[in-house]
Amino acid sequence: MEKMQQIVGRARAAFRSGRSRPLEFRIQQLKALERMVQEKEKEILAALKADLNKCGYNAYSHEILGVLGELALTIEKLPSWAAPQPVKKNLLTMRDEAYINYEPLGVVLVIGAWNYPFVLVMQPLIGAIAAGNAVVVKPSEVSENTARLVAELLPQYLDKDLYAVVTGGVPETTELLTQRFDHILYTGNTAVGKIVMAAAAKHLTPVTLELGGKSPCYIDKDCDLAVACRRITWGKYMNCGQTCIAPDYILCDPSIQSKVVENIKATLKEFYGEDVKSSPDYERIINQRHFKRVKSLLEGQKIAHGGETDEASCFIAPTILTDVSPDSKVMEEEIFGPVLPIVPVKSVEEAIEFINGREKPLALYVFSNNKQLIKRVISETSSGGVTGNDVIMHFFLSTLPFGGVGHSGMGAYHGKHSFETFSHRRACLIKDLKMESTNKMRYPPGSQKKVDWAKFFLLKRFNKARIGLFVLALLGVVAAVMIKVLN
């Protein structure tokens, strides 16, 4: 407990010194982080290989590329993001200065996940630094090699007091959560998300929870199945299915189920060859505990493809399940593994009803040649994000917020949304001490005439383009004179 107090206390003292606030300092730290990723690329790739059996190409594209892209965008755009944002004014505030000022929250906690252990720590860290905060980073202990590397590298490149790393398991995280933070961003499962939120509530600390859930994928009969199944196969089996926004299950008409299976099988052969186990592009389950959990989901199911396992190497082959009952065990929890159930539905209406009968997912996917059908599913369901005719790709567009809703989480980040998540939008109004007569209508004693003038000032809408600012100013002066006369 004392150690955590010291870490958080040191970060808070560093934040209160004010050195994280200047824009130049933030950009300098972001550039140092960029240099770290570039200079230590081999070490990062080696850690990801050790943790998840990620080959160099996959590790770079899944983790490093996203971090470098986020850094480049943030470094370029930060001056405009952090600039005061002027707001529209009414007649009463026409001569005043009104704007939103983005200010840092203070000391924030970022708790990462093990499935993408580098990018899911670095992207929130980038946003928190950009907003001017001090940050305590807690990588997942499950991906121990990447966690150890992050703890080793960050102090070499960033301010040691402002940006601390805490390693360890549940006891360390539990102690850390007893400390007061100004914001917590957690990526992981719903059960732990509730624990994080309960701990944060004791200090009235706001949270961003990036959780999971069962992300559905509806395939319409009017669809190019070869293209749809190739894209679904890529998103489902990348990282051995351990992706929070992977398509968790497929909903489709029984008449196309066999075609879906055949197309996915053909794509798996195209991606991974005849022997998936020897493919350098196919990862492994993170550990034996998760291996046993995923394997147990296959019990009693109709396996249309795959199903092979090897506990010693935590290997589970890409697996397809058909005619899956909505009440089966595999449909109760997020799979988080290379198992793809297909649940037959007879119409888009039935698919929508099925989706809405469950907790709101982190992502939702729809495949159809009919764009109106896709938009109908979007309008009649709820999820953290949606991609039509593809999977996962909304995650890679930094102008879209990434986050959940309901049981799949709250809050969002990525790009400017990260900066805003870790900032307080402070309302600022600066007046001068002139034209005091215009304020008489808000001072006692009250009268109906004062109320009428208040209505004029606050409720009347003028088209500035038509009557011009000069006329608006003239109206203000006239009003001030009238109030003075009336009193």
Catalytic residues: 210, 244
Q: Give 219's strand partners.
A: 252, 367
What distance in Å separates the CA atoms of residue 476 and residue 464, rounded to the nearest whole number?
14
Work out the burial of residue 485: count CB atoms within 10 Å of its CB; fewer than 13 is exposed, 13-18 middle, 19 or more buried: exposed
Q: What is the SS3 assignment for 134-190?
A: EEEEECCCCCHHHHHHHHHHHHHHCCCCCEEECCCCHHHHHHHCCCCCCEEEEECCH
The C-alpha angle with vertex 414 and arms to 57 and 85, in degrees rounded to 5, equals 145
**Which one, of 220, 241, 177, 171, lies nearest residue 376 by Cα?**
220
What distance in Å separates the CA atoms of residue 206 and residue 199, rounded to the nearest whole number?
11
**DSSP-derived secondary structure letter, 306:** -
Instruction: Note the helical H segments in 40-169.
Output: 41-52, 56-59, 65-82, 119-130, 144-157
What distance in Å separates the CA atoms of residue 289 and residue 473, rounded to the nearest whole number?
71
Contact 33, 90 (CB under 8 A): no
| Core vs surface per residue 442-479: b (16+ CB within 10 A) or e | eeeeeeeebeebeeebeeeeeeeeeeeeeeeeebbeeb
Q: Would you state the structure tokens that stand for residue 388, as one six-digit string?
A: 């039509």
CA-atom Rg of the chain in angstroms: 27
Strand arrangement, sheet containing 85-86: 85-86, 97-104, 423-430
For the chain, percent helix, then strand, then coil, each to nearest 5? 50, 15, 35
What distance in Å separates the CA atoms of residue 339 and residue 264, rounded to the nearest whole number?
12
